[in-house]
């Protein structure tokens, strides 16, 4: 019985992705292995890092184009990790063209594998528990990365690389053990059969993630180099505040206001850059700055990972949703890094660089507040539209009639309203009712005026509030 509990699909999927993700963190991006190897051979690492990030971005973005089922997602994860395994072998030998080629291939296929995990997150984890599954993956993979980093820094980069490869192999074993046949029908049944498009919330989330992660890129290029003399400490401590915050957020009550917590993260980021400006470059200064910065990153990462998890039920292709969302993260880090390199290349005094970085941070955080409000409203609206689409005709009518209008709706307006609440676009409504799109817009404006709102989202917000009050 205990063995069965340990090997249930949800835990297997978390373990599989945690070990696979640990390889990604410890070797390709945030670990010390690649940097040590490049430095040892006097190779300029900028080209390698840039190429790997672009390839990973493309892997995340394109995975959904050719992954359509749970079985194909499993095959992609196994094949992708197999390619990563083969592409890592050249790094045990002297530098050659195989290094750059191997890095590009492993980055691309690891991106595909990461996106494909969206299928397993949806299939094996209930919607209300996905924030915990995402937190577990991020916590376990970062703990493994810290262990590999310590070994690589204090023993040998080749031993560290061997451990990263071992994580990859263990991840592949767990992926192989994941079931697919038994959940196929369940998986199909779990997909919300609504016609409501998830595109707008997804694009808004991508913009949100991009703006947030610009700050991460700035951190890597502005803050981290200032503490290069603390290499031993930086190699492992920077992930600890991140892990601690993830653990705290994982265990918060489900009714906790995530938006308010996000504002705490914003304050922490601003505090980190202010402290960076005012404090020195000693160990205690690094601990303060890093704790604030990486704690904020933990808040933000779990915030949008959990939102991605919620979105999976509104698409037939979780790999597409997961991949596109995570690609925004990579693009944000890349953009922030480029911005940081431009700022630091000007050779300004450290204080001026920090001021410029802080200014960018302040601008991004100001943008985030209304963007977050719009995102939350859109997600609530989407959930309501999906629920409305599955109501009976009587339930739909009763739900809408509970809200009083300033003036009665005409018969045509009632038809337009019903289609609006089914998630139809203006063009789709026009096709259904055999009227022009401009006529639909006129009816919609009249409907919103009679409900004293300015948009469909505001109308739905009123409907949701009425349901809650009722």
Quote the pLDDT of residue 387: 58
From the centroid of its chain, how far is CA 205? 9
Query: Fold identical between 194-390 and 392-469?
Result: no
- Of 164, 140, 139, which is closest to residue 151 (Cα–Cα)? 164
Which residue would you say has higher pLDDT here, 396 or 203?
Answer: 203
Above 50 in pLDDT, residue 3? no
Tell me the average pLDDT across 229-252. Answer: 83
pLDDT reported for residue 1: 40
Question: Per CATH, the architecture of 194-390 is what?
Answer: Up-down Bundle (1.20)
Cβ neighbours, 10 Å, residue 263: 15
pLDDT given at position 181: 60
Which CATH number is associated with domain 392-469? 1.10.10.10
What band does 110 get if pLDDT is binned at 50, 70 and 90? very high
**Given pLDDT bands bounded at 50, 70 and 90, which one contains residue 362?**
confident
pLDDT band at 395; cut points 50, 70, 90: low
Rounded to whole angstroms, how far apart are CA atoms 26 and 38?
14
Query: What's the confidence (pLDDT) of residue 388?
Result: 58
CA distances in angstroms from 117 to 114, 228, 456, listed in the order given: 5, 35, 33
CA distance 42 to 63: 35
Domain ranges (residues) in the chain: 1-190, 194-390, 392-469
Q: What is the mean pLDDT of residues 93-113?
A: 91
List pLDDT tens digits, range 449-465. 888 877 777 777 776 66
Residue found by looking up tokens 């719009």 in the block = 374
Place of tokens 């063009």: 427
Question: How does DSSP classify residue 29?
Answer: S
Query: Per-residue pLDDT averaged across 336-353, rounded?
Result: 68
> Residue 380: what pLDDT?
61
The pLDDT of residue 338 is above 90: no
pTM: 0.78
DSSP state of 313: G
Which secondary-structure segment (H or E) carries 191?
none
Q: CA-CA distance, 309 to 119, in Å (whole number)?
A: 10
What whole-number percentage of the chain has pLDDT above 70?
A: 78
Contact 325, 298 (CB under 8 A): no
CATH of domain 1-190: 1.20.1250.20
Write down the pLDDT at residue 189: 38
Which has the higher per-residue pLDDT, 20 or 468? 20
User: Binning pLDDT at 50, 70 and 90, where does residue 13 land?
Assistant: very high
pLDDT of residue 184: 45
pLDDT digits (tens, 9 = 90+) for 164-200: 999 999 999 999 999 886 544 444 434 444 445 567 7
| pLDDT at residue 68 is higher than 60 | yes
Q: ∠ CA 415-420-423 to the nearest 5 degrees? A: 135
- Beta carbons within 8 Å of 182's beta carbon, 6+ residues apart: none
Residue 468, C-beta contacts closer than 8 angstroms, at least 6 positions apart: none
Give residue for tokens 């070994």.
Answer: 151
* CA 265 – CA 216 distance, rounded (Å): 12
Quick check: 427 pLDDT over 70?
Answer: yes
Using alpha carbons only, give the angle 308, 140, 181 rounded to the nearest 5 degrees: 60
Longest dimension (CA), the chain: 78
Average pLDDT over residues 290-301: 88
């Amino acid at each position: 019985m205990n063995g069965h509990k340990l090997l249930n699909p949800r835990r297997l999927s978390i373990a599989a992705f945690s070990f696979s993700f640990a390889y990604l963190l410890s070797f390709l991006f945030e670990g010390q292995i690649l940097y040590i190897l490049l430095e040892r051979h006097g190779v300029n690492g900028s080209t390698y890092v840039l190429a790997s990030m672009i390839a990973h971005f493309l892997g995340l973005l394109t995975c959904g184009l050719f992954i359509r089922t749970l079985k194909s997602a499993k095959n992609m994860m196994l094949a992708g990790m197999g390619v990563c395994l083969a592409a890592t072998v050249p790094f045990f030998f002297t530098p050659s063209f195989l290094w750059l080629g191997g890095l590009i291939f492993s980055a691309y296929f690891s991106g595909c594998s990461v996106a494909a995990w969206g299928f397993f997150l949806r299939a094996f984890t209930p919607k209300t528990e996905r924030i915990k599954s995402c937190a577990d993956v991020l916590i376990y993979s970062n703990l493994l990365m810290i262990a590999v980093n310590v070994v690589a820094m204090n023993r040998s980069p080749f031993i560290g690389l061997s451990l990263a490869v071992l994580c990859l192999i263990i991840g592949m074993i767990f992926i192989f053990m994941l079931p697919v046949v038994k959940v196929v029908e369940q998986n199909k049944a779990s997909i919300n059969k609504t016609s409501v498009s998830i595109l707008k919330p997804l694009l808004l989330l991508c913009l949100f993630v991009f703006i947030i992660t610009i700050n991460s890129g700035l951190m890597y290029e502005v803050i981290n180099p200032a503490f290069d003399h603390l290499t031993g400490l930086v190699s492992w401590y920077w992930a600890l505040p991140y892990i601690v915050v993830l653990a705290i957020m994982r265990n918060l009550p489900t009714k906790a206001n995530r938006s308010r917590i996000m504002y705490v993260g914003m304050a922490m980021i601003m505090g980190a850059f202010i402290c960076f400006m005012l404090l020195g470059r000693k160990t205690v200064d690094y601990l303060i700055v890093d704790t604030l910065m990486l704690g904020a990153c933990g808040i933000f990462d779990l915030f949008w990972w959990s939102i991605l998890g919620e979105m999976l039920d509104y698409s037939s292709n979780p790999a597409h949703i997961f991949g596109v969302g995570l690609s925004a993260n990579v693009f944000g880090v890349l953009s922030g890094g480029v911005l940081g390199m431009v700022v630091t290349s000007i050779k300004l005094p450290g204080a001026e660089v920090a001021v410029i970085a802080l200014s960018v941070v302040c601008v991004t955080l100001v943008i985030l507040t209304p963007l977050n409000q719009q995102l939350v409203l859109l997600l609530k609206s989407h959930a309501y539209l999906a629920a409305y689409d599955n109501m009976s005709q009587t339930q739909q009518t009763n739900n809408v009639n509970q809200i009083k209008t300033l003036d009665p709706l005409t018969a045509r307006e009632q038809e337009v309203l019903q289609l609006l609440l089914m998630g139809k676009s203006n063009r789709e409504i026009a096709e259904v009712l055999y009227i022009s799109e401009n006529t639909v817009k006129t009816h919609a404006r009249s409907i919103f005026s009679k409900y004293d709102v300015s948009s469909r989202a505001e109308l739905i917000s009123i409907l949701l509030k009425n349901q809650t009050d009722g």
